[in-house]
Amino acid sequence: MHNINTHNLGYPRIGEQRELKKATEAYWKGNLSLAELEATGRHLRKTNWLKQKQAGIDLIPVNDFTFYDQTLDLSCLLGNIPPRFEWPGGDTTLDTLFTIARGTQPASTHACESCTPTASVSTFASEMTKWFDTNYHYIVPEFHPNTQFQISSRKIFDEFAEAQALGINAKPVLIGPITYLTLGKSQEAGFDPFDLLDSLVSTYEQIIKRLSATGAEWIQLDEPIFALDLTPTQLDDLQDAYRRLASVRGQTKLLVTSYFGPLRENLPHFHALPVQALHFDLVRGGEDLPDILTSFPTDKILSLGVVDGRNIWKNDCEQSLSQLHDALKTVGPDRLWIAPSCSLQHSPVTLNNEPNLDAELKNWLAFADQKLEEVVDLRDLLTGSGSNEKLVANRAATQTRRTSPRIHNPSVKTRLAEVTPADFDRTSPFPKRQQLQHTKLKLPQFPTTTIGSFPQTAEVRSARARWKKGQLSDTDYENFLKAETARCIAFQDEIGIDMPVHGEFERNDMVEYFGEQLEGFAFTSNGWVQSYGSRYVKPPVIFGDVSRPKPMTTEWSSYAQTLTDRPMKGMLTGPVTILQWSFVRNDQPRSTTAHQIALAIRDEVLDLEHIGIAAIQIDEPAIREGLPLRRNDWKAYLDWAVKAFRLSAAGVKNDTQIHTHMCYSEFNDIIAAIAGLDADVITIETSRSNMELLDAFVDFQYPNEIGPGVYDIHSPRVPTVAEMENLMHKAEALIPRRNLWVNPDCGLKTRGWDEVKTSLIHMVQAAKNLRQSI
Ligand code: GLN
Ligand code: ZN
């Protein structure tokens, strides 16, 4: 018995040493020719295919490589180029791709970790948004009533030929038509992109025919929308589209994949697709397995994604084997395939370049290359040809993770178990607190503040880099940071910011800075994953129970407070955001980890209060992005997320003011949860929406204080006093004056000092004018 196939849905394209980023950025700067860039692409593809082949993967994806984004590649393949780019037709080029992604003028330079990267309006780049609930961003396809599709790129065909020439058993991969339409955006009010379905499917038919003619045995079509709430129309469209695709496939067989969540009520529709193989994500959709097996069609191949493509933990072989055994019993070896749960583009490339992770921790991890080995090992173990030693070793690794004192800290567990309902609540309700805070803080109406960071200049970054390399002593680095902080506070004092901040010069990143000081976190050297285009992130790994060995920010805050008489705002990152931007342990619910982090932050909040900091901001820009894919699951998530925030904040006295910040303002769906945070002040991003997005707060009669951003920090433009005053007048029409703050949209770390200075001077003037107005 050895018929069970292994395959892969997609492999990280970035290269072990981020070769793709380096080459792409060099090309953009004019330091690398197009031919050289293309050669880098070819080299990466070849390396990646051969790696997969050597690992023993039977069917290897092609067209998962991209110089920017696979959704954008597909738009180019389909000739769906937004009209404003005045594309002359014919074959799209790499420059077509980059232009759509980046616009024709330099893209916005603001890119903090949390703001959804959007190009500034003037560049007219296409919009970017999160790929389902991952941290990968795709370029949103644009649809017009007169959008026409026609094959306009040779990429998928060329790459298929390239792989064939290398003797790779290649499987071309494409996003499926229904997912493509669902993820795109209508550019005209009242126009439904699904009106384009007929012509879209015709073009897919041609693509399939062409791939089939060149010998593709399998084509993979990704339809992750099966993990979403679907309408009856979408479900019908899926059947119609695939009926048509099936009718032109010739000798080629079609594999449709779902991933990122259970299919639940969509399962019968998935089973009914007239294709030859179906893929399921058992890591996130394991609850479906009994139903999948009970009714799995007898004419199809069952592909099971048992190895987690989105997290970094070693597979629990025994658990996977038990799922695979059940499946094997139902479908037999000829109809069972084994794979990672989803594309491995969401995993770092390899554990082999991690000299700083110790052996024990490394033994708990698997990155993309190790995941491929796991897939093959599972197949071998299932068919009886595997080595028992591997199984024993895997069992041992799983076992030590269950019991290791590095992971399990009894005092953390006890403390969390002893949390009482009162720990989530402030002592008094908001109106009482507001009174006490106003008495203590003595701020004017329309108090001014900023969101925390000030420009992280080249000097700041270079000082940090030199310090990390040991070229700058601890003392010199600290003195440098102190000087920056002092200058920043002096500036705020001088222009009259009512609640200053220290500027966050000591922080590299709002999550990493805290993770480095908490127990239970580890940091990789090369664990990069693509966030969008040439921007990659290296998330911390939360491997164990989280605790705070000692205060993290009090020294900076107390130093800062000695420099001014005005009340300093302390600055922390919230538990949900720390969780959301890390690789999170999978051996306990995310909610438990979030609440452990919350307790650590709570201690920090109390220490800040203890040294006399009267206002503390707990940033939670990632609360909204943590929302589950299915509406039914929202409530459970929001419940624990809100509780995590409250646990971190609620220990303080009534007259200590808790702020929070979020980098967006679309709160309609979650306003009740936002109000549930019970932060005394929330600052949000509103300048570009003309305050319209305050409506959610107004409709909800949001009771606490709000700072609607008046200064668009995504752009180097300096806003005028009148503009900001106007925005605040709009806000004032909606929200009681005593509840309003005046502040920028977000942190200023990506801006230059010149613009920041003038903009903040204007902002303070706007607040002064507002105080005069009745
Ligand atoms: N305090 C952080 C800053 O100003 C907040 C950033 C964020 O929420 N993205 O940089
Ligand atoms: Zn922000």
What would the pLDDT profile of 460-497 be if each residue is shown by its tens digit? 999 999 999 999 999 999 999 999 999 999 999 999 99
For residue 1, what pLDDT band results from cuts at 50, 70 and 90?
very low
For residue 714, what pLDDT band results from cuts at 50, 70 and 90?
confident
Q: Provide CB contacts within 8 A for 566, sequence distance 6+.
A: 492, 493, 497, 498, 499, 500
**Shared domain check, 494 and 399:** no
Ligand nearest 449 Cα, by number? 1
Average pLDDT over residues 135-141: 96
Ligand 1 atom closest to the CA of 661, numbered from 1:
8
* Of 773 and 57, more confident: 57
Residue type, 499: M
**Shared domain check, 433 and 374:** no
411 found inside a domain? no
Mean pLDDT of the chain: 95
> Is it the case that residue 79 has pLDDT exceeding 50?
yes
**3-class secondary structure per residue, 138-165:** EECCEECCCCCCCCCCCHHHHHHHHHHH
Residue type, 639: D
For residue 691, what pLDDT band results from cuts at 50, 70 and 90?
confident
410 found inside a domain? no
Q: How many Å is the maximal CA-CA distance in the chain?
A: 84
Distance 115 CA to ligand 2 centre (A): 6
Helices and strands in the chain: count of H runs, count of E runs: 28, 21
**Shared domain check, 677 and 589:** yes
Name the strands in the sheet holding 277-281, side by side, starting at the edge strand that comes first in the sequence: 5-6, 336-340, 301-307, 277-281, 253-257, 218-222, 170-175, 60-62
Reading the block at residue 101, the tokens are 């992604």
Give all strands (DSSP E) within 47-158, no chain letters. 60-62, 128-130, 137-139, 142-143
Catalytic residue among 279, 714, 729, 762: 714
Q: Residue 374 sits in a domain of what CATH number?
A: 3.20.20.210
Separation of alpha carbons 2 and 379, rounded Å: 9
**Shared domain check, 439 and 389:** no
**Shared domain check, 565 and 471:** yes
Distance 22 CA to ligand 2 centre (A): 28
Ligand 1 atom closest to the CA of 571, numbered from 1:
1
User: pLDDT at position 71, please?
Assistant: 98
749 found inside a domain? yes
Domain span at 57: 5-104+120-347+357-403
Closest CA to 56 of 16, 14, 9, 8: 8
Q: Which residues place a Cβ less than 5 A from the ion ligand 2? A: 663, 746
In the block, tokens 């000092």 appear at: 753
**Shared domain check, 763 and 671:** yes
408 found inside a domain? no
| Angle between helices 197-213 and 232-247 in degrees, nearest 10 | 30
Phi, psi of 372 (to 5 degrees): -65, -40
Catalytic (active site) residue 325: no
* Cα 206 to the center of its chain, rounded Å: 34
Which pTM does this prediction carry? 0.95
Q: Tell me the per-residue pLDDT of 322-361, one tens digit each, with 9 for 90 and over.
A: 999 999 999 999 999 999 999 999 999 999 999 999 999 9
**Shared domain check, 544 and 430:** yes
421 found inside a domain? no
Smallest CA separation from ligand 1 atom 9, residue: 114
Checking ipTM against 0.95, whether it exceeds it is: yes
396 found inside a domain? yes
**Shared domain check, 435 and 306:** no
63 found inside a domain? yes
Separation of alpha carbons 5 and 11, rounded Å: 17
**Shared domain check, 320 and 178:** yes
109 found inside a domain? no
* Of 665 and 46, more confident: 46
Distance 755 CA to ligand 2 centre (A): 18
Of all residues in the chain, the percent with pLDDT exceeding 70 is 97
User: pLDDT at position 123, please?
Assistant: 47
User: pLDDT at position 119, please?
Assistant: 44
Q: Which residues are annotated as a binding site for 5-methyltetrahydropteroyltri-L-glutamate?
A: 18-21, 130, 135, 581, 625
Q: Provide CB contacts within 8 A for 372, sequence distance 6+.
A: 8, 51, 52, 55, 56, 57, 340, 344
User: pLDDT at position 114, please?
Assistant: 59
Give the DSSP letter of residue 68. S
Separation of alpha carbons 307 and 301, rounded Å: 18
**Shared domain check, 98 and 48:** yes
Q: How many CB atoms lie within 10 A of CB 240?
A: 13
Ligand 1 atom closest to the CA of 577, numbered from 1:
8
**Shared domain check, 434 and 393:** no
Q: Tell me the per-residue pLDDT of 157-211, one tens digit each, with 9 for 90 and over.
A: 999 999 999 999 999 999 999 999 999 999 999 999 999 999 999 999 999 999 9
DSSP H helical ranges for 626-720: 634-649, 671-676, 695-700
Closest CA to 374 of 386, 359, 357: 386
**Shared domain check, 374 and 434:** no
Domain total in the chain: 2
Distance 687 CA to ligand 2 centre (A): 12
Separation of alpha carbons 313 and 1, rounded Å: 29
